[in-house]
Amino acid sequence: MLEFWLFVLATAGIYTIFSLGLLVQFGIAGLPNFGNGAFMAISAYAMAISVVNGLPMWAAAPVGIGAAVLFGLLLAIPTVRLRSDYLAVATIAAGEIVRYLALNLQELTGGAAGTVNLLGPGIAADYNSSWLRFQSGVRGLISNLVGQRVPSDVAFIAILWPVALLLLAAVWYMVRSPWGRTLRAIREDETAVAALGKDVFAYKLQAFSVGAALAGVAGLFFAWQVSSFSPDDFRPTLTFYAFVIVILGGKTNVWAVPVGAVLFAGIFAGTRFLDFWPLSVFASGDRAYLRLVLVGLGLIVLVIWRPQGIFGNRREDALET
Amino acid sequence: MKPKDAILSASHVGMRFKGLVAVDDVSLAVARGSITALIGPNGAGKTTLFNCLSGFLPGAAGSVVFDGRRIDGLPPHRRSRAGLVRTFQIPRIFHRLTLIENMLVADRAQPGDALFGCFMRRGATLARTRAATEQARDLLALLSIERLADDYAGTLSGGQRKLLELGRVLMTDPKMILLDEPMAGVNPALGGKLLERVEHLRQERGITFLFVEHDMEMVMRVSDRVVVLDQGRVIADGPPDTIRADLRVIDAYLGRADLGASA
Ligand SMILES: Nc1ncnc2c1ncn2[C@@H]1O[C@H](COP(=O)(O)OP(=O)(O)OP(=O)(O)O)[C@@H](O)[C@H]1O
Ligand SMILES: [Mg+2]
């Protein structure tokens, strides 16, 4: 059971950081970016590639985040002026382009086999050892503190969650700052914001970049957690899940993101344990689909019943233009 | 008018939509510190002319000089920054922001408006927020909507939205304001108060006004000068009394009574 909760917390921490980025882009600035998973992928790949090419971890991590922001700008410059429905389509396409590139640029990414093949097939590439050394150092520290050997997942969580909470606090502060207020105004009516003398395009690029940077941080932790990943880990569903977390949290509510992420990760991992009757009549492979169906149905019911999300403000939501 | 007395001078401004010439070779100079009314029947091109001046129609022809500087070719936010601001005929308010927040978005002196500004200039941001909030509350009081200050703007009535938009442009500390039917839907008693306020702002702060209005009584009462637009062209331009006489002539000649009809 402990193992289950550690898994939930680790997944939820990564989703928290990732979804925070989406909250800034979509909830606050009104830019539905369905390609946010690609920023996560780019950061993870840029970090891994840098490490196997000899860069130390402390330098490779910012390279990853920088690559995510750079790609974010590259995608944002031609698309953020689009109406939001077209932006959604453009970003989903961009996300898929990145995934297919990662699949096909085998020399660079290791292709479908994933990062084990980063240095080419047959040579096991490893980008993770210095992270694992750091993590086991932290594990040792915690073990000494509590007086018993803790699982390594505990160390991962002990590094991940402080970072996540720090980013949460920073985003919370930025969202309620004048900068965040201007983004919300852009979400409501960008023509009016321009008429008031603000460079709407620049603000949108900033919001997009902040979201991409956060996705980049999430990508780093994802890569560190798994020690080998492949393009398949960054399917569009990744971003959809983050949308679910943000929407259930009420779209603009920063502190609802970690709650939503834990809930989501819990339900998602938890439905694995649905092996009691009548569900036990299904084969375990079918049950895997069944839990997706159940999660989906639950979402539909929730969105009909509470369109403003679990933590959202109904009064505010009713004013939607 | 000598060019140096004009805060805004537009020459040969034109805009066509497909076959329709909405603004047809309009040349217009507005004196600094004056109140000028722009009138004309529905579809005359008044709003389109505002869009040309404020930069919302990048395809517009002609040149516009504002405060000694060419501004045609500049995007809307740069023209606004230069001190030429506008309101919209159909108010554009930020529905899910409170009235106070709507006002604060318009603040130009806020260091926290920049990315990371709230961290890097934390003290200055907080101080400016306090000062601007006070200023915003005063303006809302002036517009008689201060008791709604902390409500969402989306709950406002049509007339109240007009008032909020007016308050918002005043927050930008502008040199000149283009008002597109500011009194439409506003209670006449409050409208009268607003007119006094406009005159007061012109006197105290030297703000220049160009406004579109269908209510002739109001137009004649406050404006120093009236410009009449019809089918995209300026057909009359002069002091209110002259225009009043002119309009009767035009009406009789064209057989139309809609030039000065109230909205
Ligand atoms: N974006 C547009 N595309 C096509 N035609 C337009 C557009 N905007 C305005 N027009 C046309 O230009 C003409 C002038 O419209 P405009 O809105 O400027 O009139 P107006 O003088 O403001 O009228 P009102 O008093 O009714 O507000 C109208 O015939 C209108 O149909
Ligand atoms: Mg109009």
Q: Which of A73, A183, A187, A188 to mutate to probe the B interface, most B CBs <10 Å?
A: A188
- Confidence class of residue B117 from pLDDT cuts 50, 70 and 90? confident
Please state, as a whole number, how many other Cβ atoms lie within 10 Å of the Cβ of residue A294: 15
Kindly state if the Cβ of B44 falls inside 6 Å of ligand 1. yes
Name the helix (H) or strand (E) containing A97.
Answer: helix A84-104
- Confidence class of residue B261 from pLDDT cuts 50, 70 and 90? very low
Non-local CB neighbours of A43 within 8 Å, separated by 6+ positions:
A64, A65, A67, A68, A215, A216, A217, A218, A219, A220
- Say which residue, B226 or A289, is predicted with more confidence: B226
Q: Which of B9, B29, B35, B28 is nearest to B207 (CA)?
A: B35
Which value, in Å, is the radius of gyration of the alpha carbons in chain A?
A: 20
pLDDT exceeds 90 at position B249: no
pLDDT at position B72 = 92
Q: What is the pLDDT of residues B47-97, one digit of tens each?
A: 999 999 999 998 899 999 999 999 999 999 999 999 999 999 999 999 999
- Confidence class of residue A4 from pLDDT cuts 50, 70 and 90? confident
Q: What is the pLDDT of residues B10-36, one digit of tens each?
A: 999 999 998 899 999 999 999 999 999
Question: Cα separation of A311 and A297, whole Å?
Answer: 19
pLDDT at position A128 = 85
- Confidence class of residue B262 from pLDDT cuts 50, 70 and 90? very low
Block residue for tokens 């309101």: B87
Kindly state if the Cβ of B54 falls inside 6 Å of ligand 1. no
Residue A251: HSE in the Cβ half-sphere, 13 Å Cα cutoff: 21
User: By a Cβ cutoff of 8 Å, what residues of chain A touch chain B?
Assistant: 170, 173-174, 177-179, 181-182, 184-185, 187-189, 191-200, 206, 210, 315-316, 319-321
Among the residue ranges A166-170, A289-293, B173-177, the one predicted with the least confidence is A289-293
Q: What is the pLDDT of residues A125-178, one digit of tens each?
A: 788 888 889 988 899 999 999 888 888 889 899 999 999 999 999 999 999 999
Name the helix (H) or strand (E) containing B208.
Answer: strand B208-212
- Across all residues in chain B, what is the average pLDDT? 89
Q: Note whether B76 contacts A185, CB cutoff 8 Å.
A: no
Paired with B180 in beta bridges are B212
pLDDT exceeds 80 at position A230: yes
- Topology of domain A2-320 in CATH is ABC transporter involved in vitamin B12 uptake, BtuC (1.10.3470)
Q: What is the pLDDT of residues A293-306, one digit of tens each?
A: 777 787 788 778 77
- Across all residues in chain A, what is the average pLDDT? 87
Domain ranges within chain A, ordered by starting residue: 2-320
Question: Cα separation of B51 and A195, whole Å?
Answer: 11
Range A22-38 average pLDDT: 94
| Nearest beta carbon to residue B95 from set A188, A191, A199 | A188
Strands of the sheet with B69-70, listed across from one edge: B20-31, B6-17, B61-66, B69-70
Q: How far is the CA of B45 from the centre of ligand 2 (A)?
A: 7
To the nearest whole Å, the CA of A199 is away from the closest chain B CA by 6
Give the per-residue SS3 of B82-139. CCEEECCCCCCCCCCCEHHHHHHHCCCCCHHHCCCHHHHCHHHHHHHHHHHHHHHHHH
| Contact between A30 and A4 (Cβ < 8 Å) | no
- Confidence class of residue B159 from pLDDT cuts 50, 70 and 90? confident
| Nearest beta carbon to residue B101 from set A179, A181, A189 | A181
Question: Cα separation of A81 and A94, whole Å?
Answer: 16
Question: Cα separation of A298 and A289, whole Å?
Answer: 14
**Which ligand ends up closest to the CA of B229?**
1
pLDDT exceeds 80 at position A255: yes
Range B169-196 average pLDDT: 89
